[in-house]
Amino acid sequence: MIPISYIIRNIKKHKITSILTILGVTLVVFVFAGVLMLSNGLRATLVATGYDDNAVIIRKASQTEVQSIIPYDQAQLIVASPEIAPAKDNRPLYTNEIYVLINLPSRTDSTEANLVVRGITPKSFELRPNVKLIAGRLPQEAGSEIITGESASERFVGCGLGERVRFGAREWTVVGIFDAAGTGFDSEIWGDITQMSDAFRRPVYSSITFRMADTSQFTGMKDRLENDRRLTIEVFREKEYYANQSRTITTFINITGTVISIVFSLGAIVGAMITMYSAVANRTKEIGILRALGFKRLSILLVFFLESIFISLTGGMLGVLIAYFLRFIRISTTNWDTFSEIAFNFEISSQIAILAILFAVIMGIAGGFLPAVRASRLKIVDSLRSA
């Protein structure tokens, strides 16, 4: 075998070309990894919004709380379910909530964006231990008071502590800020359910969330409730419910991102190919010498193939490394499944890192293949005669 140091030193020798080729691959892998981290972060945020032993009930086929309506009589039947765990006060641990989308101007450019207003009950906090009041107090049952998620309070005009905001034909005072640990709730406004159903004239619930006493009973309970003729509802595990909400947008991001990455990668492949063709041209004589010494065509093929893969691997690792720092960027977007604003971070995973580096290696293989074949096909006498 021709030694690896021969390959690496040749890469180092042609610094400028090698660095440019590496940077091309770096850019593509950065974009590719970034896209995957984006959808992964979004998914992780939404999945984290749900709890393992919580169940969510919405109207059948409504998919999200936006379109969901649960009449009071159906709600009464549901909350009588024996599978519901007891709360601290020994009453069943459930909350029925309403969920309304409103428009508010953003603080930065005053364009309007959607956000969620959730009418909550006192048990809403007990069901979601990650959600904590970090400033001010809880809203009173009477009066136009709200609390806002940290992200919503920062992003929307009038949503900061002590500020006032108009929606639902009323003016509301922000009396508290809650932190939802980076979950989807962070981008919501919460107020008392009776106030909200008054303001929005909604004498129904959007969803019911409850704690299961025993999660292994989930399937049985789901069957029972969904087959109950008096009910037109669907039952989800809360985690699964929120994961489903990220599906449309993460699929969109993944597909667009992959298409963009592939288009970009064509550029990087052509770059690698040009680099490798010139490496073959520059070293035609060396190839002849190696063959004259007794190295086979396959060894020559491998040298140039490995050289290309090594270049792209370096670019790939660099791309992943740079993409890693995207973790510190927080972005927000509209979740198309719920039409609401959601804030989240890019999130890396070992799977994404491996996939991105694999992508780089594929670029190296694609770019190095033809030049390596050319190198291995040269006739010894011709390459020895070349200058």
Partner 1 sequence: MSDSMVNIFGLYKSYYRDSLEIPVLRNISLKIPEGEFLALMGPSGSGKTTLLNLLAGIDQPTSGTLSVAGEEISQLNENELAKWRSRHIGFIFQFYNLMPVLTAFENVELPLLLTKLTKKERKEHVETALSIVGLAERMKHYPRQLSGGQEQRVAIARAIVTDPSLILADEPTGDLDKHSAEEIMILLTRLNQEFKKTIVMVTHDPRAAEKAKIVRHLDKGELD
Provide φ and ψ at 134, rounded to 5°: -110, -10
Task: Give the separation between CA 36 and CA 356, rounded to whole angstroms.
Answer: 9
Nearest to 315 by CA among 253, 262, 257, 269: 269
Q: How far apart are CA 301 and CA 218, in angstroms?
A: 59
Angle at 191 between CA 186 and CA 194, to 5 degrees: 145
Q: Toward partner 1, which CB reaches closer, 251 or 282?
A: 282
Of 262 and 381, which CB lies nearer to partner 1 in the complex structure? Answer: 381
**What residues numbered 12-31 form the site for partner 1, per CB under 8 A?**
13
- Work out whether 381 is an interface residue with ligand ADP (CB under 6 A): yes
Query: Is residue 138 a contact residue for partner 1 (CB under 8 A)?
Result: no
Q: Coil, helix or strand for 132? A: strand
Type of residue at 66? V
Are residues 206 and 65 in contact, defined by beta-carbon separation less than 8 angstroms? yes
Q: Do residues 193 and 98 touch, judged by C-beta distance below 8 A?
A: yes
Compute the distance between CA of residue 233 and CA of residue 119 in angstroms, rounded to an integer: 20
Which parts of 248-287 interact with partner 1 (CB under 8 A)? 285-286
Compute how many residues bind ligand ADP; rule: CB under 6 A: 2
Say whether residue 293 binds partner 1 (CB under 8 A). Answer: yes
Using CB under 8 A, which of 60, 140, 381, 386 touches partner 1? Answer: 381
Binding residue for partner 1, selected from 69, 161, 181, 384, defined by CB under 8 A? 384
Could you tell me if residue 125 is left (phi over 0), alpha (psi between -120 and 50 degrees) or otherwise beta? alpha
Q: Any contact of residue 289 with partner 1 (CB under 8 A)? A: yes
Contact between 296 and partner 1 per CB under 8 A? yes
Of 21 and 376, the one with the shorter C-beta distance to partner 1 is: 376
- Residues of this chain, 297-316, that bind partner 1 according to CB under 8 A: 297
Does residue number 292 form part of the binding site for ligand ADP (CB under 6 A)? no
Could you say whether residue 329 binds ligand ADP (CB under 6 A)?
no
Which contiguous run of DSSP H or E holds residue 210? strand 207-211
Report the interface residues with partner 1, using CB under 8 A: 1-3, 5-6, 9-10, 13, 285-286, 289-297, 380-381, 384
Residue ranges in contact with ligand ADP by CB under 6 A: 381-382
